[in-house]
């Protein structure tokens, strides 16, 4: 009976206690890294936010039109606050990945390494989306001014299409950077460029039929006249 109790109850509990004792230092290390990462993230974000406010980053963004673009996008936070919060969450995510690695468990380590390798792609995709958003507003404004100066009736429609076109291109580039849609930019650019060339050819063929006919007639008649004159001289 004592042997059965030792084998069935005490031995598993002893093994469980040994495993807990082996994992406990790693858990404590994970907690310390998380607390340190949380403090570092808060300190870094606050320091960068205050530094940007001191050097006048918000006023510079206002002059460049970024504040108005953020308001149009429904973002009411100051650019300095946005940069500070971005740094806060970036440091916190990196600290969380390091904390998971402190557990020294193979599946968690593999997950942490994969996530850490994917972070640069996430940052690059976010930068592409942000740059595409600001660039689309700039291009839309420039196209609107040019279309109004040219007297085109659908000026606002053209400007809106240009904005959505730039944003769609930025979104496609971000997806490709994330590995979700491979080669979509190349294929989309080829389709778009081919459509533009085809539309231009059809427009020229339908709208400039008389012009093309007159041009060909002048070229053909201009080439046939010297031959006719030579034939008359021979006669």
Query: Does position 153 have pLDDT exceeding 70, yes or no?
Result: yes
Domain presence at residue 10:
yes
Q: What is the pLDDT of residue 43?
A: 93
Classify residue 11: in a domain, yes or no: yes
Does residue 31 form part of some domain?
yes
Show the domain range for 14. 1-104
119 within a domain of the structure (yes/no): no
Task: Say yes or no to pLDDT of 116 above 90.
Answer: no
Tokens 């940007």, residue located: 52
Instruction: Examine residue 76 and state whether it is found in any structural domain, yes or no.
Output: yes
- Window from 121-130, 158-167, 189-198 with minimum mean pLDDT: 189-198
Are the C-beta atoms of residues 131 and 150 closer than 8 Å to each other? Answer: no
Tokens of 111: 């997950």
Tell me how many domains the chain contains. 1
Q: Does residue 229 lie in a domain region?
A: no
SS (H, E, C) 9-78: HHHHHHHHHHHHHHHHHHHHHHHHHHHHHHHHHHHHHHHHHHHHHHCCHHHHHHHHCHHHHHHHCCCCCC
Q: What is the pLDDT of residue 224?
A: 55
Residue 232 lies in a domain: no
Identify which has the larger pLDDT, 93 or 201: 93
Is the residue at 34 inside a domain?
yes
With 50 as the cut, is the pLDDT of residue 235 above it? no
């Amino acid at each position: 009976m004592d042997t059965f109790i030792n084998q069935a109850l005490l031995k598993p509990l002893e093994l469980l206690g040994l495993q807990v004792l082996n994992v406990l230092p790693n858990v404590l290390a994970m907690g310390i890294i998380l607390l340190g990462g949380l403090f570092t993230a808060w300190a870094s974000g606050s320091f960068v936010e205050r530094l940007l406010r001191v050097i006048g980053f918000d006023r510079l963004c206002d002059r460049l039109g970024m504040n108005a673009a953020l308001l149009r996008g429904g973002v009411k936070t100051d650019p300095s606050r946005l940069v500070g919060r971005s740094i806060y969450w970036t440091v916190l995510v990196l600290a969380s990945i390091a904390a998971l690695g402190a557990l020294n468990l193979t599946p968690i380590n593999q997950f942490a390494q994969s996530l850490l390798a994917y972070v640069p792609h996430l940052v690059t995709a976010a930068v592409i989306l942000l740059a595409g958003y600001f660039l689309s507003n700039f291009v839309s404004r420039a196209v609107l001014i040019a279309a109004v100066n040219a007297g085109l009736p659908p000026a606002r429609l053209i400007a809106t299409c240009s904005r959505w076109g730039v944003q769609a291109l930025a979104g496609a580039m971000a997806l490709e950077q994330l590995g979700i849609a491979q080669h979509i930019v190349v294929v989309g650019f080829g389709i778009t460029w081919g459509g533009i060339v085809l539309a231009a050819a059809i427009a020229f063929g339908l709208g400039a039929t008389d012009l093309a006919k007159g041009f060909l007639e002048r070229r053909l008649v201009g080439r046939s006249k010297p031959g006719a004159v030579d034939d008359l001289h021979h006669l």
